[in-house]
Chains A and B, each alone.
Chain A
């Protein structure tokens, strides 16, 4: 990837102290649908500091996932550039947690969580240590040897979270990972994610269509416009951590910011 001069995703070894973990400049992506060109995202500028938890909310079809897939190097942008600062060259740049179940059905939960580390040829003892840690953190230690079909949807997403964190990437990219879960599982997993994140202090970009979820999780919430997706407004979220989902929802400030974001989003969904 870095050897290909045409790609705009750079790895920068050295960085001035003020340099952000992720810097996005003028990012755009056009798709060809039949004969027409569709702009998925347009002119996106974004700086993310190391250890920050960023939530991006936007109307459906606004190009949120496209932005994330470009950051994950699963798709190439048509314009602009992404720079990700790599603090440790032996670590992978990013791991993604997908919306639908992406746990490999033919591997036990343990091997799923170890997947990234195994592909990189990490020594077995080190893999075991890391996998055990994240299985315990996600409450999956009892199911380590189960196959995914024996687990519920919530358990599978827990395994996805464990797999992404165990891989020890520079940044974590999450594409509505809890969207398919029921309310109770969603709240539980949000709290678990926050706990793991506070232990590891990874940089996270989390995409969601749920304003509540964004407010519960993020240090900053960025609102995207409808297609072509641009970053519209950003909110700094100062709720103290550790956060508990339902304590936070009882906070009047939570409701106030939530309504403000909804007013913005509403314009994007139904038009002004």
Chain B
């Protein structure tokens, strides 16, 4: 007896052809990444040329580039950028280190957590910049107050991330440490810190972003240097083209610091399965 097949479904490999130019463009992530900003700049340029955008607030990108070259040539912006970076970094370290230490302490000990968390939780919702006048009264209007306000803002981000990281460590690893009779410090070093490290880095990324926000605002007070100061300064003299250049530099600084932390994270966490992005 033969059974007649009603229909045959055939699956064949698609014909192999070389990638077209469009394919290659789609695959180039760098190209895709700059396409959208480029389009925005072109539209912006056109809109100012035809007078639909007010040149006083949105000067043509071409004119901003002219200002950029002038400022870069004078070299002053780099000194100001260095000041801003310095303030960010000092404040970041003073905030992140206690953030990690307290995060781990509260994460590992329910007693310490019960004791300190209400205080920290009560302070957290206060907008950090609202503390700046008080900080300036305590530390003066110089560098110390800027470091302090950045440190406070960074602390909360890093602290809460670290705490979440430690609390979320799989219980089995704590059992392992306990079964191998780890001391408190060994538990920190071999389980809590490495286990929470991915969360700690997330906290650091949030923290460095916050540091930039705070430092740019704080540089309006008691200083003559820094990108934040320059932005406020160009507002006072209504130099909008320069302001856009400084804004561009702040944004590059933000992007660069995020990238730096991501790089550090990849170097420090070799056991993570995949590095997305």
Given that A105-B271, A106-B271, A148-B271 are contacting pairs, would A115 and B175 also be in contact in the complex, using a CB cutoff of 8 Å?
A: no
Complex contact B186–A96 (CB within 8 A): no
Complex contact B271–A119 (CB within 8 A): no
Interface residue? B179 (CB, 8 A): yes
Complex contact B180–A102 (CB within 8 A): no
* Size of A's binding interface in residues, CB under 8 A: 23
Question: In the complex, which of the residues A95, A101, A102 has the most CB atoms of chain B within 10 Å of its own CB atom?
Answer: A102
CB proximity to A under 8 Å, residues B221-277: 269-273
CA of A102 to CA of B170 in the docked complex: distance in angstroms?
9
Complex contact B180–A92 (CB within 8 A): yes
Contact flags (1/0) for A175-190 with B, using CB distance below 8 Å?
A: 0000000000000000
CB proximity to A under 8 Å, residues B176-202: 176, 178-183, 186, 190-191, 194-195, 197
- Main secondary structure on A side of the interface with B: loop
Interface residue? A155 (CB, 8 A): no
Interface residue? B173 (CB, 8 A): yes
Complex contact A106–B195 (CB within 8 A): yes
Q: Which interface class (under 10, 10 to 19, 20 to 34, 35 or more) fits B?
A: 20 to 34
Complex contact B271–A115 (CB within 8 A): no
Question: In the complex, which of the residues B178, B180, B186, B194 has the most CB atoms of chain A within 10 Å of its own CB atom?
Answer: B180
Interface residue? A100 (CB, 8 A): yes
CA of A95 to CA of B271 in the docked complex: distance in angstroms?
25
Given the complex, which residues of A lie within 8 Å of B190, measured CB to CB? 104, 107, 115, 119
Q: Which of A98, A107, A116 contacts B172 (CB 8 A)?
A: A98
Complex contact B179–A100 (CB within 8 A): no
CB distance from B179 to the nearest CB of A (A): 5
CB proximity to B under 8 Å, residues A204-257: none
CB distance from B180 to the nearest CB of A (A): 4
CA of A94 to CA of B173 in the docked complex: distance in angstroms?
17
Which residues of B line the A interface, CB within 8 A? Answer: 172-173, 175-176, 178-183, 186, 190-191, 194-195, 197, 269-273
Which residues of A line the B interface, CB within 8 A? Answer: 72-74, 92, 94-96, 98, 100-102, 104-107, 115-116, 119-120, 147-149, 167
Q: What are 19 A-B contacts defined by CB distance under 8 Å?
A: A72-B179, A73-B179, A74-B175, A95-B179, A96-B175, A100-B172, A101-B172, A102-B173, A104-B190, A106-B194, A106-B195, A106-B271, A107-B190, A115-B180, A116-B180, A119-B181, A119-B190, A147-B270, A147-B271
